[in-house]
Structure 1
Amino acid sequence: MKPSLRIYVLCYCLALAACTSQQTVFTAQSPGQLQQWSIKGKIALKTPNEGHSANLSWNQKQDQYEIRLNGPLGSGAIELEGNSHSATLRNSNGEYHANSARELLERMSGLAMPVDMLRWWIRGLPSPDASVSQQRYSENGDLIYFEQLGWVVEPSRYNAIEQLRLPYKLRAGTGEFQIKLAIKNWGKHVSGSQTHK
């Protein structure tokens, strides 16, 4: 093989390897087994008196999470991180701590967002920590409606990512509080991602 041809082949292989390394690789066989993931998108929160929206970045690894809301409540960025035992919130006013993300968000913003439940609902699953009722499925077998702890949850716009089917939209609400999520990217933690077009 001529030197110039060998260099061409080598460069091609390196480029191919680089592209492959950027792809999402989920080793889980079902959404329930998916313990390490990331999403990017938008979130909208609505109460009887007002509504807010923000860009959302969420990294999850087992029970550890890192959530960034950019632009909510007119207060710039909010960063939320923690696990099942503690949570820390950072914004332009400082740093705050509590036993859970729900407690922190409610204390700081008055919004009782069920973060512990959302990490399951985002994947189109009810939380295993509470009973569930009124489950409905699409013709493809995707869970599109269920009720849990007083919340009506509607995952939708499922799309295949490798061997998994994951939702790209989520709506959850109680009588007074509504959450809407529009997911742009699903990825494996902070590595590659799959974009929904």
Structure 2
Amino acid sequence: MFGEYLKSTSGHVGRVIILCSLIQSAGCTLITVKDTTDYVLSDRSALEKLNYWDFEGRIAVILKDDSWSGSMSWAQSGEQGVIKISGPLGQGGVEIKIKEGYLSINDGENVIDYSDQDEASLVNELGFYVPIRSLVYWVRGLADPDIDYIETDQGFMQSGWQVLFKAMQRTEVGLMPHKVYLTNQAVRLKLIVDQWVINE
């Protein structure tokens, strides 16, 4: 399982190196972080048409009996996207290619196609499940337009997930998420976007 590999490579030395690199990158990143009071879901409808973007950031996953963290990048071009998650110093990792209705997951040894709604297979491959089709919207600060949701002070509830935006950052197309917390009964997932690149 991907989480177990990351955990096995994150010893004391790895943690020190990661901490140093994060401190160094934080000093070089030009981000204006805004308070979450600036997040208003109804003000974000224009971003639904934002189809070409990418970001670099970090991910932390907390499960009932396990937890791990790593670096993450995501490049989206229309309906297709590529998510890359790797452990310390780029060790291990997985690449997820998003296509219409399914995902292609490359764990470094095998490349397997799954339905984007195949929860059991994704849990087996990644160690947890998050609806990738909805996540394409969530990372931009949007609710999935095809699914009912309930708006909250810092985000919304959708598909059994609480989606919270703890901080926002300024970009050329307006405020975009900096810290995103996703929680359901089985998973706590934290995303930190260090830098957005808007290609549209």
Residue 111 of structure 1: aligned partner:
128
Residue 48 of structure 1: aligned partner:
64
TM-score (normalised: structure 1):
0.71
Structure 1 residues 15-164: aligned runs within 5 Å:
30-71=46-87, 76-100=92-116, 103=119, 105-136=122-153, 144-164=154-174
SS in 2 for 1:167: strand
What is the aligned residue count?
Answer: 155
8 A contact 2:116–2:131 mirrored in 1: no
- Alpha carbon RMSD of aligned pairs, Å? 2.5
8 A contact 1:82–1:88 mirrored in 2: yes
Structure with bigger gyration radius: 1
Higher RCO, Cα 8 Å, sep 6+: 2
Distance 2:93 2:186 in 1: 25
Residues 156 and 32 of structure 1: CA distance in aligned 2, closer, same or farther (over 3 Å) = farther
The one-letter amino acid paired with 1:89 is I
Asked if 1:166 is matched to 2:166, the reply is no
Q: Which moved more, 1:168-177 or 1:79-88?
A: 79-88
Give, in angstroms, the shift of residue 169 of structure 1: 0.7
The one-letter amino acid paired with 2:56 is K
Give, in angstroms, the shift of residue 84 of structure 1: 2.3
Distance 2:171 2:165 in 1: 16
The one-letter amino acid paired with 2:74 is W
Distance 1:101 1:35 in 2: 21
8 A contact 1:88–1:101 mirrored in 2: no
Distance 2:70 2:178 in 1: 16
Distance 1:41 1:99 in 2: 26
Moved over 6 A (4+): none
Residue 185 of structure 1: aligned partner:
195
Q: Which 5+ residue runs of structure 2 have no aligned equivalent?
A: 1-44
Q: Which 5+ residue runs of structure 1 have no aligned equivalent?
A: 1-28, 137-143, 192-197
Residues 83 and 134 of structure 1: CA distance in aligned 2, closer, same or farther (over 3 Å) = same
SS in 2 for 1:112: coil
Percent of aligned positions that are identical:
24
Give, in angstroms, the shift of residue 101 of structure 1: 7.3
Give, in angstroms, the shift of residue 41 of structure 1: 0.4
TM-score (normalised: structure 2):
0.70
Distance 2:107 2:148 in 1: 34
Task: Summarize deviations over 1:13-61 as a string: whole Å, max 9, x none.
Answer: xxxxxxxxxxxxxxxx932221110011001111111101111010011
